[in-house]
Homo-oligomer: A and B are copies of this chain.
Amino acid sequence: MLKNNVLPNNTLIPIKVISTGVALPSEKIEALALDKKLNKPAGYSFKRSGILYRYYANEDLNQADLAAQAINDALVRSSINPQSIDLLISSCAIPVQALPYNAAHILKASMLPKTLTTFDINCSCVSFICALQVAAGLLNSGTYKRIAIVSADLASRGLDWQDEESSLIFGDGAACAIVEKGNGTSGILSCLFETYPEGIELCEIRAGGTRCNVKTAMNESDFLFHMQGKQLFKLASLLIESYLHRLLMQANLTLEDIVTVIPHQASHLSLEHMRKRLKISNDRLIDIYRFRGNQVAASIPSALHEAIITQRFKPDDPAMLIGTAAGLTLGGMILLP
Contacts and interface: CB of A to CB of B under 8 A. Distances in A.
A105 B197 contact: yes
B329 A118 contact: yes
Interface of A: 11, 13, 59, 62-63, 93-105, 107-108, 114-124, 127, 130, 133-134, 136-143, 153-154, 156-159, 191-198, 200, 203-216, 220, 223-225, 325-329
Contact of A223 (B59, B124, B214): B214
B99 A326 contact: yes
A195 to B, nearest CB: 5
Nearest to A102: B122
Contacts of A101: 93, 122-124, 127, 326-327
A137 B198 CA distance: 30
Given A63-B209, A99-B205, A195-B115, A138 B133 contact: yes
A66 to B, nearest CB: 10
A119 B108 contact: no
A204 B97 contact: yes
Contacts of A117: 192-195
A33 B155 CA distance: 44
Copies held by the complex: 2
B105 A200 contact: yes
B329 A197 contact: no
Contact of A140 (B123, B137, B196): B137
Nearest to A118: B195
Contact of A156 (B138, B211, B215): B215
Contact of A100 (B62, B136, B327): B327
A131 to B, nearest CB: 9
A282 to B, nearest CB: 31
B197 A98 contact: no
Contacts of A122: 101-102, 119-120, 122
Given A98-B208, A204-B99, A211-B62, A108 B197 contact: yes
Nearest to A139: B137
Contacts of A154: 210
Give me the 7 closest cross-chain CB pairs, A-B, nearest first: A137-B137, A98-B208, A108-B197, A100-B326, A95-B209, A120-B122, A98-B205
7 contacts: A11-B142, A93-B99, A97-B212, A100-B326, A104-B124, A157-B210, A215-B223
B207 A97 contact: yes
B141 A136 contact: yes
Given A101-B124, A137-B137, 12 more contacts: A13-B141, A63-B210, A94-B209, A97-B209, A98-B223, A105-B200, A117-B195, A119-B130, A137-B139, A137-B143, A157-B215, A208-B208
A94 B210 contact: yes
A245 to B, nearest CB: 14
A120 B328 CA distance: 14
Which one of A13, A122, A204, A223 has the highest number of Cβ atoms from chain B below 10 Å of its Cβ?
A122
A114 B209 contact: no
A156 B214 CA distance: 11
A306 to B, nearest CB: 24
A120 B118 contact: no
